Amino acid sequence: KAGVTQTPRYLIKTRGQQVTLSCSPISGHRSVSWYQQTPGQGLQFLFEYFSETQRNKGNFPGRFSGRQFSNSRSEMNVSTLELGDSALYLCASRDFGGTGNSPLHFGNGTRLTVT
Protein backbone atom coordinates (compact mmCIF):
# COMPACT_ATOMS: atom_id res chain seq x y z
CA LYS A 1 0.00 0.00 0.00
CA ALA A 2 1.18 3.49 -0.71
CA GLY A 3 1.80 5.61 2.36
CA VAL A 4 0.39 9.00 3.26
CA THR A 5 1.23 11.52 0.56
CA GLN A 6 1.52 15.24 1.22
CA THR A 7 1.95 17.96 -1.36
CA PRO A 8 3.77 20.17 -1.80
CA ARG A 9 6.92 19.25 0.17
CA TYR A 10 8.06 22.87 0.47
CA LEU A 11 6.29 26.22 0.36
CA ILE A 12 7.47 29.78 0.79
CA LYS A 13 4.83 32.43 1.40
CA THR A 14 4.78 36.02 2.62
CA ARG A 15 2.88 37.41 5.58
CA GLY A 16 -0.78 38.01 4.91
CA GLN A 17 -1.07 35.43 2.17
CA GLN A 18 -3.03 32.21 2.46
CA VAL A 19 -1.92 28.66 1.76
CA THR A 20 -3.55 25.29 1.05
CA LEU A 21 -1.85 22.00 1.84
CA SER A 22 -2.99 18.65 0.52
CA CYS A 23 -2.97 15.13 1.95
CA SER A 24 -3.85 11.75 0.48
CA PRO A 25 -4.32 9.08 3.17
CA ILE A 26 -3.46 5.41 3.00
CA SER A 27 -6.02 3.59 0.89
CA GLY A 28 -8.94 2.52 3.05
CA HIS A 29 -8.20 4.94 5.88
CA ARG A 30 -11.12 7.23 6.58
CA SER A 31 -9.58 9.41 9.27
CA VAL A 32 -7.10 12.19 8.56
CA SER A 33 -5.39 14.29 11.22
CA TRP A 34 -3.19 17.34 10.88
CA TYR A 35 -0.33 18.36 13.16
CA GLN A 36 1.97 21.35 13.29
CA GLN A 37 5.57 20.60 14.23
CA THR A 38 7.95 23.31 15.44
CA PRO A 39 11.23 23.05 17.38
CA GLY A 40 9.79 24.87 20.37
CA GLN A 41 6.31 23.36 20.64
CA GLY A 42 6.82 19.89 19.21
CA LEU A 43 3.83 18.18 17.59
CA GLN A 44 0.65 20.18 18.09
CA PHE A 45 -2.71 18.74 17.08
CA LEU A 46 -4.70 20.86 14.63
CA PHE A 47 -7.78 18.80 13.76
CA GLU A 48 -9.06 15.41 12.73
CA TYR A 49 -11.56 14.55 10.02
CA PHE A 50 -13.52 11.35 9.66
CA SER A 51 -15.99 10.68 6.86
CA GLU A 52 -15.88 14.35 5.81
CA THR A 53 -16.75 15.59 9.32
CA GLN A 54 -14.43 17.33 11.76
CA ARG A 55 -14.29 15.07 14.82
CA ASN A 56 -11.60 16.77 16.90
CA LYS A 57 -10.09 20.21 17.01
CA GLY A 58 -6.96 21.55 18.68
CA ASN A 59 -6.31 24.97 20.15
CA PHE A 60 -5.46 26.91 17.01
CA PRO A 61 -7.04 30.15 15.80
CA GLY A 62 -9.79 30.17 13.19
CA ARG A 63 -7.23 31.06 10.51
CA PHE A 64 -6.48 27.35 10.42
CA SER A 65 -9.17 25.32 8.74
CA GLY A 66 -9.52 22.03 6.97
CA ARG A 67 -11.82 19.81 5.05
CA GLN A 68 -12.11 16.24 3.88
CA PHE A 69 -13.49 15.00 0.61
CA SER A 70 -15.59 11.92 -0.12
CA ASN A 71 -12.46 10.02 -1.23
CA SER A 72 -10.92 10.75 2.22
CA ARG A 73 -8.34 13.15 0.79
CA SER A 74 -7.93 16.22 2.97
CA GLU A 75 -6.78 19.80 2.65
CA MET A 76 -5.87 22.32 5.28
CA ASN A 77 -5.88 26.06 4.76
CA VAL A 78 -4.12 28.81 6.65
CA SER A 79 -5.28 32.35 5.96
CA THR A 80 -3.57 35.64 6.76
CA LEU A 81 -0.23 33.96 7.31
CA GLU A 82 1.99 35.09 10.19
CA LEU A 83 5.72 34.55 10.66
CA GLY A 84 4.93 32.17 13.53
CA ASP A 85 3.08 29.85 11.15
CA SER A 86 6.42 28.70 9.75
CA ALA A 87 6.52 25.00 10.58
CA LEU A 88 6.40 21.46 9.30
CA TYR A 89 2.77 20.47 8.75
CA LEU A 90 2.18 16.77 9.09
CA CYS A 91 -0.80 14.80 7.93
CA ALA A 92 -1.60 11.38 9.38
CA SER A 93 -4.23 8.80 8.57
CA ARG A 94 -5.72 5.83 10.40
CA ASP A 95 -8.49 3.31 10.01
CA PHE A 96 -11.05 5.15 12.10
CA GLY A 97 -11.25 8.35 14.03
CA GLY A 98 -12.28 9.70 17.39
CA THR A 99 -11.43 6.73 19.57
CA GLY A 100 -7.75 7.65 19.80
CA ASN A 101 -6.60 4.08 20.14
CA SER A 102 -5.44 3.21 16.67
CA PRO A 103 -2.05 3.91 15.06
CA LEU A 104 -1.49 7.14 13.18
CA HIS A 105 0.51 6.82 9.95
CA PHE A 106 2.28 10.04 9.05
CA GLY A 107 3.32 11.55 5.76
CA ASN A 108 6.65 13.33 5.35
CA GLY A 109 5.09 16.73 5.80
CA THR A 110 4.96 20.08 4.06
CA ARG A 111 7.62 22.56 5.17
CA LEU A 112 6.02 26.02 5.20
CA THR A 113 8.20 29.11 5.47
CA VAL A 114 6.54 32.49 5.97
CA THR A 115 8.69 35.53 5.22
Partner 1 sequence: GENVEQHPSTLSVQEGDSAVIKCTYSDSASNYFPWYKQELGKGPQLIIDIRSNVGEKKDQRIAVTLNKTAKHFSLHITETQPEDSAVYFCAASIRSGGSNYKLTFGKGTLLTVNP
Of the two residues 79 and 111, which places its CB atom closer to partner 1 in the complex?
A: 111
| CB neighbour list of residue 78: distance below 8 Å, 6 or more residues apart | 18, 19, 63, 64, 65, 85, 112
Considering the rule CB under 8 A, would residue 102 count as an interface residue with partner 1? Answer: yes
Total site size for partner 1, rule CB under 8 A: 25
Residue 100 touching partner 1 (CB under 8 A): yes
Of 36-55, which residues contact partner 1 (CB under 8 A)?
42-43, 45, 48, 55
**Torsion angle of alpha carbons 98, 87, 19, 31, nearest 10°?**
-20
Does residue number 101 form part of the binding site for partner 1 (CB under 8 A)?
A: yes
Q: Residue 109, interface with partner 1 (CB under 8 A)?
A: yes
Q: What is the CA radius of gyration of the chain?
A: 13
Residue 61, helix vs strand vs coil: coil
Chain positions contacting partner 1, by CB under 8 A: 4, 33, 35, 42-43, 45, 48, 55-58, 90, 92, 98-109
